[in-house]
Amino acid sequence: MTDTEQLWLVERTYTDRDIVVLVYATPEGDRRRRKELASTMLQRTTVTAAIEADPDQLEPVDDEATRERYATEVERVRTDYDPNDPI
């Protein structure tokens, strides 16, 4: 069994196709997981401050400025929310 890694919500964007893109990142900001949801799914889905993910499903964050921004946002979210809190 593969261990999971805790990721924190660092970005939420809305597309012109009525899709919500959620980005969860590692505390270091060096890896992330993107989730895309139809905006209608948000009514039936609770977006939490953190998720657990298989490390094999994470993609690297190559841009240093983005890594730093993600790490800063993880720290803010971790300070303000518990992992299962809706956000």
Q: Domain segments of the chain: what residues?
A: 5-80
pLDDT at 62: 95
Mean pLDDT calculated for residue range 14-37: 94
Q: Token pair for residue 81?
A: 């929310």
Mean pLDDT calculated for residue range 14-28: 93
CA dist 83 → 34, 47, 66, 69, 78 (Å): 17, 10, 22, 19, 8
pLDDT at 57: 92
Whole-model pTM?
A: 0.91
Is the backbone of residue 49 left (phi > 0), alpha (psi -120 to 50) or beta?
Answer: alpha
Task: Report pLDDT digits (tens) over 37-71.
Answer: 998 887 888 999 999 999 999 999 999 999 999 99
- Residue 82 — very low, low, confident or very high, per pLDDT cuts 50/70/90? very high
